[in-house]
Amino acid sequence: MLCHMAIVVVTSSGAKNARRYVAVMESAGSDVRVLTPHIHGGVATEELMKDAGGLLLTGGPDIDPTLYGEEPDPKAGLELRRPLDDLELRILEYVLDRDMPVLAICRGMQLLNVAFGGKLIQDLPDHKSQKIDGRWESAYHQIYIAPGAKAAAVIGMAGFFKVNSLHHQGLKEAQRAPRLMTTAYEVEDGLIEGLESPEHNWVIGLQCHPERQDEVPKLFGNLFLGLHERAENYISEFAA
């Protein structure tokens, strides 16, 4: 019997942005395939996802507000990459249709919300990294992960965590897609920090950046191990 190694697909604006995500997935035991709009934008989805068992949506530039029915706010300082939006949305649709496991980080969680029909707040002050003495430093805040969340089961505990914050877009309950469930939020301002899909087996979104492992609790590394395990299970079930 052939042994299939699970490939986890990582979507990214470019190879440099993908580095940390590739490193954590490889250390979890996965083979990784990086997809970027520049190289893969014109390639058929089925070809891009061949032998894949899971998807990791990464942090990156802002999502085009026209995708959720709004005009871009000229004061929001948006950095848009529509080819990346288009690539990720079609990959995500393919993956969700097949109930493949998904871990969606920062921009990835926002894209998940938009894909399910939700909206975003185009600019949030006080959530992004700042330049201090010539170096970019992450902001930090306290979040609460609910006990019933899949993320809590994967991490190994629920409750309060201090995590990094490197985003200037996000969502609250008013912007959340009704089909998605809020599983974590920021304690001070109620910003959604975790989303999951009750319709799918393992679709977890987090607003923080667990791939920056020295900036979040050690247990958050279990998210990448969890994605790897789910991808292996998916391949063994469907690739036989």
Residues carrying an active site annotation: 106, 209, 211
Q: Do residues 12 and 58 touch, judged by C-beta distance below 8 A?
A: yes
Residues in CB range of 223: below 8 A, 6 or more apart: 103, 151, 154, 155, 204, 206, 210
What are the backbone angles phi and psi of residue 81, rounded to the nearest 5°? Answer: -135, 80
Q: How far apart are CA 192 and CA 56, in angstroms?
A: 19
Report how far residue 192's alpha carbon sits from residue 165's, in angstroms, rounded to the nearest whole number: 12
Could you write out the three-class secondary structure of 48-63?
Answer: HCCCEEEEEECCCCEC
Strands 31-35 and 192-196: unpaired
What are phi and psi for residue 147, nearest 5 degrees? -60, -30
